[in-house]
Amino acid sequence: MDFGFTDADDMFRAEARAWLAEHVGGAQERRTWERTLGKAGWIGLGWGRGGYGNRSVGLTQQVVWAEEYARSGAPARSGHIGENLLGPTLIAHGTDEQKRRFLAPIALGEELWCQGYSEPGAGSDLAGVRTKAERASDGTYRVTGQKIWTSLAHEADWCFVLARTDPESSRHRGLSFLLVPMDQPGRIEVRPIRQMTGTSDFNEVFFDGAHARVEHVVGGEGAGWRVAMSLLGFERGVSTLAQQIGFARELGRVVEAAVRSGAVGDPVVRERLVRQWAELRVMRWNALRTLGRAGDAGAPSVAKLLWGGWHQRLGELAVLVRGAAAGVGPVEWSPSAPYELDEAQHLFLFSRADTIYGGSDQVQRTIIAERVLGLPREPKGVV
């Protein structure tokens, strides 16, 4: 399938590739890198011309930038939640004042965001939100509750929080989408969650009467479910194609390891490697087929099911092709380095979470069954 890049897209690719070649490299603090991107106008390419300091390009050039960024080996983004999730949501549902206040700092790489959705006991069930936001006498909200699996909360300046503003409501009714500043000592506590990889990319966030301003409710009070669902539609788009560039790089390293170890001589291993390559091509074609289409309720769920399982299988292959050597750490054990992993071991352990975060496989299948196939709604469990 040919996506149909034009001469203008090719010129844009050359510009992006040259800029990345000049600026990528060396140790660079993540906030500094965000500001470097923002200063050059590379953040918010798909927002349109709103005067926020971003360039405005079409869909094909957004794909070009995402692909070139992934190929360049540039640092993992700290600002992607603000750029790719909150930004489009504010453009669709925010007031003019909210757009002026928040979009420019995101585009300039000056303010980082995290997402306050998942909660203990609710997991991927957003309608099970128990975090409360009560209107105080001064007109602000007091947010109380706990969020979990909150990526980058330890770095974020702000959090968009789905909270229950109607205490008498249940499920998806009575929810609101609030923008909450994270710098509130004594009212907000962030606790890193140590993962199997030894790193802490996710966090628990505890809100104890955290303040949120009434003018920072997106879409109006009680419209949180509609806004939250809209945001989830932005979650899987152009970035999926960039993700696949990274996957292709990982697959290439697994193939090289299989050749070095001799595992490629095993016909079963060889068949699995070929299958991984073929499935990655299918994922790309599917992403291109659905890119830019609105109203396809099942497309995001299908994409998540495809790449989550694929990446897990790649992690399993990464250790399989190395044999017994995969069970040995890259350095000798020492008190200062008790838990060191090499690249393949990290891929294997981290990918175990791929079928859980961002909506578990079970939740994605339920969405497809109910919203696409029209099957009866899943019965609620009996306690």
- Tens digit of each residue's pLDDT (9 = 90 or more) over 143-172: 999 998 888 899 999 999 999 998 777 787
Residue 2 has pLDDT above 60, yes or no: no
Of 74, 153, 166, 168, nearest to 112 by C-alpha is: 153
Residue (of 54, 63, 52) closest to 292 by Cα position = 63
Angle formed by the axes of helices 238-261 and 267-290, to 10°? 170
Indicate if the pLDDT at residue 270 is higher than 70: yes
Burial of 1 per CB tally in 10 Å (0-12, 13-18, 19+): exposed
Cα-to-chain-centroid distance, residue 103 = 18
DSSP bridge partners of 162? 177
Distance, CA of 120 to CA of 39 (rounded, Å): 39
What's residue 3's pLDDT?
A: 58
CA dist 56 and 12 (Å) reads 12
| Angular region, 356: left φ>0, alpha ψ -120 to 50, beta rest | alpha
Which runs of consecutive H residues, i.e. helices, occur in 83-199? Answer: 87-93, 96-107
Percent of the chain scored above 90 by pLDDT?
48
Global pTM reads: 0.83
292, 334 in Cβ contact below 8 A?
Answer: no
Instruction: Give all strands (DSSP E) within the chain, no chain letters.
Output: 113-116, 132-135, 141-147, 158-164, 175-181, 188-193, 202-212, 217-218
pLDDT at residue 383 greater than cutoff 60: no
C-alpha span between 97 and 380 (Å, rounded): 41
The whole-angstrom separation of Cα 171 and Cα 127 is 4
Set 68, 83, 119, 235: catalytic member: 235
More confidently predicted of 329 and 204: 204
Largest CA distance in the chain: 72
Could you tell me the pLDDT band of residue 278, with boundaries at 50, 70 and 90? Answer: very high
pLDDT, greater one: 72 or 333: 72
Distance CA(44)–CA(35), nearest Å, equals 13
**Which pLDDT value is given to residue 372?**
86
Residues 6+ apart with CB under 8 A from 276: 251, 254, 310, 313, 314, 317
Q: Has residue 236 got a pLDDT over 70?
A: no
* 34 included as an active-site residue: no
Q: Which has more confidence, 40 or 241?
A: 40
Contact by Cβ (8 Å): 47, 87: yes
Instruction: State pLDDT tens for residues 286-316.
Output: 887 777 665 566 788 888 899 999 999 999 9
Identify the residue whose tokens are 């070095």: 260
Strands 175-181 and 217-218: antiparallel
Q: What is the pLDDT of residue 131?
A: 93
- The answer to whether residue 340 scores a pLDDT higher than 80 is yes
